Amino acid sequence: MPTTPPRRAGPIYDDAMRILADDDLEALLTVVGVLGPAEPLDTTLPASAIRADLVARTARGIAHVEFVKDPTPDLGLRMVDYRLRLRRRYGTAPIDQYVLVLREIGGVPNGLVDNALTCRWRVIRLAEQDPAALLLHPTTATLAALAANTPAGQAAMLVAAAELIAAHTAPERGRLLLGAAATLASIVLPRPIIKRSLKEAAMPVPVRDTPLGRELYEEGHHEGHRAGEHDATVRLTQLLLRRRFGDDARIPAIAAALARLPDEERLNRIADAGELGELDG
């Protein structure tokens, strides 16, 4: 598989996780070990527009959870920054911080020590969780595919999650959770397997209506737009070459090569060439 540069979890994955927090906050918090009643709090922290992934008031105090899909070198500093901003907003209330790792990666610290500064948080890896336990609740079932160890197991957990959600939730809630399950499964499974798994589970929501499907549509739309622009440039270049040098079998290949150049450079080369052969190669 092609490698991608390190980045944060990404909007569609953050959005999928926020769907779970909105659906059943207390159920989602059990994944990081927070039990009991909880209420959501504003995730926009003071002094800037910085936004945490999940902040909730629990029986113990304040719980802060960050969702991580890829390693980021500044995670430790960001966790300390979040803690300081939470302290300013919520005073002396106890603050417990968690990092929920969505796929198996290294380089996820559980604290930061810098001279007199020491800050610790708990790291929970979904790959180390029991998928059967996640399948006990529709909200956490959306994470079950991320807890399985093999592609076959991950696909099976996605099918089981889709069936559980479809059977135990109202249509609107089910649509949101199924969409989140498909999006999160794309962290560990190729898109064709996701589509096949959801079809096997008779998923009532088309993949195109999920956050993942909408992202794929946007990618395809932009790729098609760029491809359309390139094709138009090649056709125009062929027309200019034929008007300048007459019909020639070499023109399609030369036009394709020239189309990669900036417009001004391409037109100057065509105008300056004494014969078509000067542009060949």
- Shared-domain flag, residues 147 and 60: no
Please check whether residues 236 and 191 belong to one and the same domain: no
Domain end residue (candidates: 107, 128, 149): 128
17 and 119 co-located in one domain = yes
Buried-exposed string 101-131: b where 16+ CB fall within 10 A, e elsewhere: bbbeeeeebeebeeeeeebebebebbeebeb
Secondary structure of 139-183 in the HEC alphabet?
HHHCCHHHHCCCHHHHHHHHHHHHHHHHHHCCHHHHHHHHHHHHH
Q: Does residue 169 sit in the same domain as residue 194? A: yes
- Kind and range of the H or E run holding 96: strand 95-101
Q: What is the pLDDT of residue 208?
A: 56
Given 90, 109, 128, the domain boundary residue is: 128
Clarify whether residues 26 and 77 are in a common domain.
yes
- Give the CA distances from residue 34 to residues 15, 63, 84, 189, 197, in Å, rounded to whole numbers and listed in that order: 21, 8, 21, 28, 31
Are 123 and 3 in the same domain?
yes
For residue 186, how many C-alpha atoms fall within 13 Å in the half-sphere facing its CB? 20
Q: Which residue has the tokens 């209420």?
A: 39
**Based on the domain organization, do 20 and 103 belong to the same domain?**
yes
Q: Provide the residue type at 41 as one letter.
A: L
The verdict on 205 and 230 lying in the same domain is no
Q: What is the CA radius of gyration of the chain?
A: 26
121 and 37 in a common domain: yes
Q: What is the pLDDT of residue 236?
A: 82
Is there a single domain that holds both residue 123 and residue 2? Answer: yes
Q: What is the CATH number of the domain that holds 57?
A: 3.40.1350
Contact 143, 184 (CB under 8 A): yes
How many structural domains is the chain composed of?
3
Give pLDDT, residue 198: 80
As given in the structure block, the two tokens for residue 182 are: 């498909």
**11: helix, strand or coil:** helix
Are residue 80 and residue 153 in the same domain, yes or no?
A: no
Q: Would you state the pLDDT for residue 6?
A: 44
From 97, 128, 159, the end of a domain falls on: 128
- Domain with 179, as residue range(s), is 129-209
**144 shares a domain with 114:** no
With vertex at residue 81, the alpha carbon angle to CA 77 and CA 86, rounded to the nearest 5 degrees, is 150
pTM beyond 0.85: no
pLDDT tens by residue, the chain, 281 residues? 444 444 444 578 888 899 999 999 999 999 999 999 999 998 887 666 678 999 999 999 999 999 999 888 889 999 999 999 999 999 999 999 999 999 999 889 999 888 888 999 999 999 999 999 999 999 999 999 999 889 999 999 999 999 999 899 998 898 889 889 988 998 998 888 888 888 787 765 555 555 565 555 455 445 555 556 777 788 888 887 887 778 888 888 888 888 888 877 887 788 777 788 888 76
